Chains A and B, each alone.
Chain A
Amino acid sequence: MQGEVRIDKLVKTYETRQRKGLIKSEMKLVEALKGVSLSIRPGEVFGLLGPNGAGKTTLIKCLTTLLLPTSGEAWINGYRLTKDDNAIRATVGCMLMGERGLYWKLTARENLEFFGALYHLSPRARRTRADGIIERLSLGDIADRTVETYSSGQKMKLAFAKALINDAPLLILDEPTNTLDLPSARELRAVVRELNRDGKTVIYTTHIMAEAETMCDRVAIIDRGEVLALGTVPELKASLGREEVTRIEGVISAGANEAVGRLAGVSHTALTAVNGHTQLTVVSADQRALLPRLIEALVAHNALVQKIAPEEVTLEDVFIARTGRTLAEDTAVK
């Protein structure tokens, strides 16, 4: 069915060479996807949320036929992966690698028309389609300048425009707002919502929790090649049960973090650097009962506390509760 994606136990392993000095090296097997299974319904915006290195891009590259999976199966728009690859390519619009993937010596219009030809559009259809996209994304002022003269944000916008050239029922967008300033990111998200209202299914990867919360009908939290949780945003938040989140800002050492993690009632903690200070996120069952012991543990480890506050559960807290890490931390795939 158009716009539908079904993934069944998809596995991707790589061999990577580990250098041992000048000449010696040994091969190491990396499991980038460990039997991922999920279904994406036609017409939904489906978020893939996870830190860098979690396996989001590997999954997307498999679904777009760029990578051959090691095992498992997938059906995209009703076509079977590895069997009907050209049909999949024709029916998927894809934005990968941000501003890379454009011809910098061509103009936006020339780029769009060229990529239209790769999707076998007739010359007239290429021109019409390119004009429509340029108008929709307000690229008119720069459409006839070579891409090399564009700002980073303009290149990202053109990369997004390119994903629309084949008018595919399924759009796959890999971190599309990376490097965009806030107004441009907001504008791009609005267009994605419009396209979704027009009936397109969207797969949207991000490591920005707020973006996933506002954009996606359902979200899969992915880490170390595995889907840790899947559901609507309210469902995922509710999955923390009666657990609550306390955030402490200040100067907090790793030792203090460990001490808090050992306190009774604390299920997870995560320490991150935010705007020049550290932030400790504590997921616990009973915030009120925990607070005196929490402060005591912090003081005992010379923590300088600037702010301590109970907070609403976010998708990031769901991630912390399941992994003990924050989305800002890169994942070392094992």
Chain B
Amino acid sequence: MTANTTQTEILRGPAAWLSALAAMAWKELTIMVRYPVEFIASFGQVFVIVTVLTLAGLMFSKGGADNAGASSQTAGLVVYGFIIFIFLSDTLWTIGYNVRREQKQGTLEQLYLSPASKFASLLSRVAVTLVWTGLLSVCSAVLMSVLIGTLPFHNVALGAAILALALSGTFGVGFAFAALTLRVREAGQTAANFFQFVFMLLCAPFFPFSGLPDWLRVVSRLIPLSYSVDAFRSTMMGYPNGYPELAPIGVEIGIVAAFGVLMPLLGYWLYKREEDRARRKGSISDY
């Protein structure tokens, strides 16, 4: 095993990048599957959460459960909001948590010893989230529509485009939280938890924005994720009367698009900044 690496053995350019990304994503999936109890429990708990949230929502809706259950609009409002919520929630937890887990087990240091792209490493976690959370959100949507009512399906292509941009922005938030995790370690996860609840309140994924007090709706309007929720569900519901609630749909799509393009850049910039700091401090392998 002398230094006999031939040119054909080494991948270069995009092939090298994609091959490393695929290996990283496959590694994440393999490890996930090898924790079967965690795998099943995390899958199962989503359905319990969904049922609890849905039933609670119905109980407090105008006219009670009977009235709300008959409404396709209520189903659309809650289910499409839930899809954005579950992606945000998983992204916040998964990316930062994985970075911290790898930091603790020393494998993050191994990544930094190699020439592999650090961006590919973050993306691999996104890929896993997309597969896993995508599956969860489809199953949850089916369950919720059984509990609440038939889902409205309008403007599917535009809805999918808005969702893609919203997810891109969400992944950017995930990168920023990964940066925060590098800085504050476990406390980053507590912050993610806090952020998740703030999102549940201010971005109104499970209720209309009109349910918020006026002064709180002002705060909601300052958060780009609010427009992701509003634009996505309004589009999928076929813009019923009063929707979108925060701004005309064109403006909302513009905000979601800007968020989807700029937030990943900002998130990755923050991550790179934190990575440089960790390299200066020697904290990449901090336990």
A interface with B by C-beta (< 8 Å): 2, 14-15, 58, 61, 64-68, 86-87, 89-90, 92, 94, 96-97, 100-106, 110, 113-115, 117-125, 129, 132-133, 136, 146, 162, 164, 166-169, 195, 198-200
Is B45 part of the binding interface, using a Cβ–Cβ cutoff of 8 Å? no
Q: Which residues of B contact A115 (CB under 8 A)?
A: 110, 114
**Who on chain A is nearest to B2 by CB?**
A198
Is B284 part of the binding interface, using a Cβ–Cβ cutoff of 8 Å? yes
Is the CB–CB distance between A105 and B35 below 8 Å?
yes
Is the CB–CB distance between A122 and B10 below 8 Å?
yes
Please give the distance in Å from A178's CB to the nearest CB on chain B.
14
Is the CB–CB distance between B279 and A66 below 8 Å?
yes
Interface size class, chain B: 35 or more
Is B116 part of the binding interface, using a Cβ–Cβ cutoff of 8 Å? yes
B interface with A by C-beta (< 8 Å): 1-5, 8-12, 16, 19-20, 22-24, 27, 30-31, 34-35, 105-107, 109-116, 276, 279-282, 284-285
Is the CB–CB distance between A164 and B1 below 8 Å?
yes
Please give the distance in Å from B254's CB to the nearest CB on chain A.
38
**Given contact pairs A133-B1, A166-B5, a sample of 10 additional A-B residue pairs in the complex whose CB atoms are under 8 Å apart:** A14-B281, A89-B114, A92-B113, A101-B107, A103-B31, A120-B11, A120-B12, A120-B19, A120-B20, A164-B1
Is the CB–CB distance between A117 and B106 below 8 Å?
no
Contact of B34 among A15, A105, A162 (CB under 8 A): A105
Q: Identify the 9 closest CB pairs spanning chains A and B, nearest first.
A: A100-B106, A117-B23, A125-B9, A118-B114, A101-B106, A120-B16, A118-B116, A86-B115, A89-B115
CA–CA, A156 and B96, complex, Å? 28
Please give the distance in Å from A41's CB to the nearest CB on chain B.
16
Contact of A94 among B23, B113, B276 (CB under 8 A): B113
Contact of A118 among B109, B111, B281 (CB under 8 A): B111
Q: Which residues of B contact A132 (CB under 8 A)?
A: 1
Given contacts A65-B112, A100-B106, A102-B107, contact A120 B282 (CB under 8 A): no
Q: Which of A114, A132, A146 has most chain B Cβ within 10 Å?
A: A114
**Who on chain B is nearest to A87 by CB?**
B115
CA–CA, A199 and B110, complex, Å? 24
Given contacts A89-B115, A125-B9, A167-B4, contact A106 B110 (CB under 8 A): no
Q: Which residues of B contact A198 (CB under 8 A)?
A: 1-3
CA–CA, A283 and B223, complex, Å? 72
CA–CA, A164 and B4, complex, Å? 12
Is the CB–CB distance between A122 and B106 below 8 Å?
no
Is the CB–CB distance between B115 and A90 below 8 Å?
yes
Please give the distance in Å from B217's CB to the nearest CB on chain A.
38
Q: List 7 A-B contacts (CB under 8 A).
A: A65-B279, A66-B279, A102-B107, A115-B110, A117-B116, A122-B9, A167-B4
Is the CB–CB distance between B110 and A101 below 8 Å?
yes
Q: Which residues of B contact A129 (CB under 8 A)?
A: 1
